[in-house]
Amino acid sequence: MKEPHFLNKVFASSGITQEELKIILPKYKKVIISKNDYLLNQGTIEKKYWFVESGFIRSYIIDTEGNDITFNLYASGDVVIDYPSFFFLFPTRENIQALTDCVCWEIDFASFQELFNSISNYREQQRGLLVGSYFALKEHSISLIADQAKERYLKLLKSKPHIVQNVSLKHIATFLGITDTSLSRIRKEIATE
């Protein structure tokens, strides 16, 4: 029996009909991204976005002191996009890089716009993704200010254990706003509790 198309799972709970899927799915292109390759480089304009089928990706920025700071971590089922660059054609301040070999489904801006403007169920699904992304970003920003480092780590461990198990401690630490040493101490502390 043929394995269902990954994007069928992505769109399954969105109200998109089988007829609409016949229009939507051909607009997406399956791409294989090798470990360490970039999906987006700082200073460029994002013209595509991706659904991650498998693998791990991170977005990062370089801070004012030249440090590489992980801004977001992505895994299977996640949307990888720099929304301001994609929608407003601003040069991005992020770098988006594959941490492992990845399988993704990409759509370009013109195809996205065509689907967004012609299929209301697709439009609503995409709006939901945007709103969900905004809330996750806001929650993470507040957590960096209001929560202790251990609490931030425990939240990540609970919500995205696959990230914690597959992404380097260095990237997880900068995402949580702490040093590698602090993260190692927190992990040891948790292990002994």
Mean per-residue pLDDT over the chain, rounded: 92
pLDDT number for residue 1: 36
pLDDT over threshold 70, residue 74: yes
Is residue 39 situated within a structural domain? yes
Is residue 181 situated within a structural domain? no
pLDDT number for residue 3: 45
Residue the block writes with tokens 């990237």: 171
Integer Cα distance of 38 and 74 in angstroms: 14
Q: How confident is the model at residue 170 (pLDDT cuts 50, 70, 90)?
A: very high
pLDDT number for residue 86: 92
Q: List pLDDT tens digits, range 84-134.
A: 999 999 999 999 999 999 999 999 999 999 999 999 999 999 999 899 989
Is residue 97 situated within a structural domain? yes
Number of domains making up the chain:
1
pLDDT number for residue 123: 93
Integer Cα distance of 118 and 128 in angstroms: 17
CATH code assigned at 23: 2.60.120.10
Domain that holds residue 73: 6-118
Is residue 187 situated within a structural domain? no
pLDDT over threshold 90, residue 30: yes
Please name the residues in contact with 13: beta carbons below 8 A apart, sequence gap of 6 or more: none
Is residue 125 situated within a structural domain? no
Say what the pTM is: 0.89
Q: What tokens were used for 8? A: 């069928």
Q: What is the mean pLDDT of residues 29-35?
A: 96
Report the Cα–Cα distance between both ends of the chain, in Å, rounded. 46
pLDDT number for residue 113: 95
Is residue 123 situated within a structural domain? no
